Amino acid sequence: MGRSSSHRHGLRSARRRGIAALAVSALLLGGCGGGGGGEIVAPPPVLPPPQPQEPPPAPPPTFFPPGPIPADAHLGGMWSPVYSWPLIGMHAVLMPDGSVLTYGSNTVGKQTGKFDYDVWVAGSSAPDAGHLTLPNTTPTDIFCNAQLVLPQAGSKVLMAGGDNFVNGFTTNTGNPNTNIFDRADNSLTLGPDMYRPRWYATLTTMPNGDTYIQGGRDGTDRPEVRTVDGAFRLLSDVDTSTLDFYYPRNYVAPDGRVFGYDTFGRMYYVNPEGRGSMVLLDTIPVANRGQDATSAMFLPGQILQFGGESNGAIVIDINGATPTITPTQALSSQRRWATATLLPNGRVLATGGSEVYNELIGVNNSAEIWDPSTGQWSVGASGQVPRLYHSSALLMPDGSVLVPGGGAPGPARNLNTEVYYPPYLFAAGGVRATRPAISSALGTVDLGKTVTVTVNSSKAISRVTLLKTGSVTHSFNMDQRFLELPFTTSGSTLTAQMPSRGVDAPPGYYMLFVIDSAGVPSEAKFLRMTVAGASQ
């Protein structure tokens, strides 16, 4: 890790304000009279006729870079130009309003989260506009911590652990702090301490809304749970000291336990109930592991793992009694520090990486997409900037993928971002595809219930998909998840069936997409999944 040096605070803001509706109040006058006379009552004043109210303006179109679209964009997608970003986006979180929280360096690209964090209000502006860069006023250096959006209402991000900043220097040691980012006022507030200091830990949202916390330097011996009321419980019967501390790849398994594996490929199950229990399993082959590998649960109980020690890729299936590992097609090259991102159509995007650990040797700037129905990779368009260690990637509600960061340390200090636009956003001939649109707003939905929306589309709707909003750092997205939903249609009305099990759809915020018969997705609508019958 690099040392942090002097820092200059920067505050850039671009705030969006809604249009306030004008309220017209009417004065009602009345009188009463009696026989034989009485008080003379003045007639009511003559008011001007009410002015016709303009309908509220349509939301501005989502930003799309100007300029020609490549003729083959419908096959390989398209990359945006490179846009400046206020800091290195090592940590990136999609908020339930479509904004993006990033942090991890200061505004000159030095390692530390002690000073700044940034909120980007995505929308009609390019990614180099619409930023609110704010000072971190807590005592915590949030560099290399763990983060995810809490499932309860309120658009809050739990941050766990981080580094210690002492006498002007980072120490590369863990702290026990938790912090809460609140999108309502963009504040960052210190919370109660965990039982263990943790640097490079992993957070996992459980089916009951609790957060499972494991790993991190100085917290290797025991995991713990943050309950929905904000209290902490140490899993004193779970010994994780033989596992590597570095961002464990943890997922909610179909049986409700936590399934995971460390950077050395050692697999395990943890039951986080009570004092906890743990079962150690077999080891992932050496060619398919490493702290610089990446993974994504592309269907419930099925995990794609690639990157790291080779260009190989495997599928880990945890739906049975014991995990099974099946090779799938290898990538076009070895991609150390690539990032796996789930797409609205259920495919998995690989961005970033190089053949040599955090070096500009064998850099792969291409987008590479894996199709779970065929097990095949397709190589798409190439970006301009190497995205290595400390880069990230995040699916946006318009179906594009934000790809920021890289550096501190590294051969490039990337205070910038690119956006990848996958092939499903284009039609042949270098034009943008006509997209279906969901015109209904969504809110809170219980497991097992249905959601009814109005859809405008020139083509039949063939799929409805649900993706959990992402929270990514260090080549691992801790919260992304993909689900295919059964649905029925009647004219322009579509009714989708939500999953019935919390192990398949842990509570929290999701993006709902409809996909037409040409494979073109709508822009997403957000919903919040709750535990049925629980007040969250």
**How does residue 389 score in pLDDT terms, banded at 50, 70 and 90?**
very high
Closest C-alpha to 128, from 94, 96, 93, 89: 89
25 in a domain, yes or no? no
Which tens digit of pLDDT belongs to each residue from 329-363?
999 999 999 999 999 999 999 999 999 999 999 99
Is pLDDT at 58 greater than 60 in this prediction? no
Chain-centre distance of CA 418, in angstroms?
A: 16
How many domains, in total, are found in the chain?
2
* Boundary-marking domain end, from 384, 410, 427: 427
Domain CATH code at residue 423: 2.130.10.80
Which tens digit of pLDDT belongs to each residue from 402-418?
999 999 999 999 999 99
- The stretch 445-466 carries a mean pLDDT of 97
497 in a domain, yes or no? yes
355 with 443, same domain: the answer is no
327 in a domain, yes or no? yes
* Residues 84 and 416: beta-carbon distance below 8 Å: yes
More confident residue, 470 or 9: 470
Beta strands in 262-321 (DSSP E): 266-271, 277-283, 293-299, 302-307, 313-317
397 in a domain, yes or no? yes
- The stretch 172-198 carries a mean pLDDT of 98
Which tens digit of pLDDT belongs to each residue from 291-319?
999 999 999 999 999 999 999 999 999 99
* Residues 413 and 392: beta-carbon distance below 8 Å: no
36 in a domain, yes or no? no
Pairing of strands 116-120, 131-135: antiparallel
Give the pLDDT score at 43. 38
Domain CATH code at residue 455: 2.60.40.10
- What phi and psi values does residue 257 have, to the nearest 5 degrees? -80, 175
157 with 272, same domain: the answer is yes
Which tens digit of pLDDT belongs to each residue from 317-337?
999 999 999 999 999 999 999
- The stretch 173-183 carries a mean pLDDT of 98
User: What domain range includes position 321?
Assistant: 72-427
282 with 248, same domain: the answer is yes
* Boundary-marking domain end, from 427, 457, 486: 427
357 with 495, same domain: the answer is no
* Boundary-marking domain end, from 398, 427, 456: 427
Percentage of the chain with pLDDT > 70? 88
410 with 518, same domain: the answer is no
The CA distances from residue 229 to 138, 225, 226, 344, in Å, are 22, 11, 8, 32
Give the count of beta carbons closer than 10 Å to the beta carbon of residue 361: 10
